[in-house]
Amino acid sequence: MIPSVLAHEIHDSIAEFISTEFRPATPSFENLLKEFLDKKESIFKGPYLSLGLPFRQGIGGKDYFPDVPIAFPPHLHQELAFSRLKAPNYQSTLIATGTGSGKTECYMIPILDYCYQNQE
pLDDT in tens, 50-106: 666 788 989 888 888 889 988 889 999 999 999 999 888 899 999 998 888 899 999
pLDDT at 85: 93
Backbone φ and ψ for 36, nearest 5 degrees, come out as -65, -45
Decide: 16 and 34 in contact? Cβ < 8 Å: no
Give the per-residue pLDDT at 47.
64
Model confidence pLDDT, tens digit, residues 9-62: 888 898 889 888 888 888 778 788 888 888 877 887 776 666 667 889 898 888
pTM of the model: 0.56
- Helix (H, G, I), strand (E, B), or coil: what is residue 30? helix
Contact between 19 and 33 under an 8 Å Cβ cutoff? The reply is: yes
